[in-house]
Structure 1
Amino acid sequence: NVELIEIPQRSDSVRKNAADIQMAVDAMELALTRDFVSTFVIVSGDSDFTPLVSKLRELNKRVIGVGLKGSTSAMLPPACDEFIFYDRLDGAPKRAPKAGSGGASKAKKKSSGDRGGGETREKKSSQKQDLEAVKRLVTKTLAGMQSSTSGAVQASNLKRALLRKDPTFSETDYGFRGFREFISHLADEGLVTLTEGSAPGDPEVDFPTKGKDESQAFQLLREVVKDLMVELGGDPPLSGLKDQLRKRQPDFSEKEFGYAGFLQFCKAAVTKNYVEMDWEEPDEEYYLYVEDDTTPTD
């Protein structure tokens, strides 16, 4: 149901923010007097609502924002639990292009026709780059969740974590109908694995198991550490070591072998005698080294 709220206004005065103030007052009244109301939807792109959103979230309320992509303030989406751009929704009306003068309009049509193929290719290239960026966001978020919890990561919890990092995230922007379809696509590409969880339709998400080339990655680590020991005249620290590996193998990623982080990868290399690693309390840093008399075991 929709309730119309009357806002009295005198004919000889203009109250620009009267509706905004009324919305804020009503929202706070509901939040404080109606405990069962857990979610608020604010249809606006105005940054003036940012303090209201922050206050509602302080009161443990979930806030969903809805606005137009082109007119929404950059301050509002990050403040919300989730932000939906209205013009991206299925069935949203498309804006008609502005009609110009006859000659100019024809010239534009011709020009756009000539550029049509190029624009399509540019759009596809942009979408591909965006998808690669969101893949990195997913792996980074999943790795962070695995390092902070001992249990399995449910797909629903992963999406909530993604929305906390980017409230405007929506799998539909990349051509997927739902998050399950999106995460299944990542599983098909070998980026993650899915197993049925305790809740139907909410699978557990994990990184793929260790690959057959893991020993080559460990050997690369061993060689880099040995070379750095000579170059530095001492044991190299863990920080910055991953960058050294990528100088030799730019596409290196411990996640390809099922490790949530580089430290976990190095600890696995230690267990197989590829390297040794010690924690130095004064520096609060791990240092790696190779003993010549040790032989790696696979």
Structure 2
Amino acid sequence: MAEQSEDQVGVYLDFDNIVISRYNQLHGTNQFAKDKARHHTNGSAKADPAVSARIQLAMIDVGAVLDYASSFGAIVISRAYADWSAAVNARYQRQLTDRAVDLIQLFPTVASLKNGADIRLAIDVMEDSFRSSDLSHIVIVAGDSDYIPLAQRCKRLGRYVIGIGVSGATSTVLAAACHEFADYDSLPGVVSAAQLTAPVIESTDAPAAASAVTDVVPPAAGEPEGAEASAPANPAVSPAARKAATALLVRAMDLLANNDQEWQHASALKLQMRRMDPSFQERTLGFRQFSDFLKSRHTVVELDKKNPTGPVLLRLRA
């Protein structure tokens, strides 16, 4: 059960904004519109494999966004605004439903395909702020300057405002209007645009295009090489579950590193891991205590417990 004093976070994603911005960041200005990526379907006979590859390369890691938001407190509201009938957005169904994100359907009402997400999102943020006095943090995932008045009003209402946007597609004034603003590329677990340097695929050979994307897109879990820890006491635990737990540990440590402390408290780490994945329990992995789980991950974390009665401290290995 969450403590009453725990900060509560509301996350609001202008999903069309972030998807289009990421696509254009990787593939060029206005390339999303030029490629007609919104309604591009892989299964279509007329589907361009090059466009399919570019869409796959520009996929947003929703988990990285929500994990970063959870570092500020418990996420009590998470909503994503978009036209979910568009093929490019429908690709995210599994990511979003797995993280219990509320999908707000916004059909385009004008020829420009603008769906009015900024108005609906702003109304919901204001309504939630007035209804929920315990809502302490507002996370706005967008880069549009239309959200500047919203950020300013939330600050006036005493909420701590965090913005997340794509580099090159974010208003500098919006960033200034927030208490904090994070570049999507800088979030733990996200492969930056600078690292995704694969050339644009022009081949009409679909298998070759798919292979090229696989070569440059890392696994979503972000499992570091060589991080496979010693097997837990419970032999029924699958290798996939062990790898997922290690990846969760590493990402949580990356988020805690924002406090500029070299050594982190194990209790804070466990809290962050539970925020990111409420189903995490060391006992299901075969460990009696959280410290035993940490010791089993000695390839990725280093423990420090000089005093037997003192707190367990840890840091990521270089």
Higher relative CO (CA 8 A, sep ≥ 6), structure 1 or 2?
2
Q: TM-score, normalised by structure 1?
A: 0.33
Q: Give the greater-gyration-radius structure (CA).
A: 1
Q: TM-score, normalised by structure 2?
A: 0.31
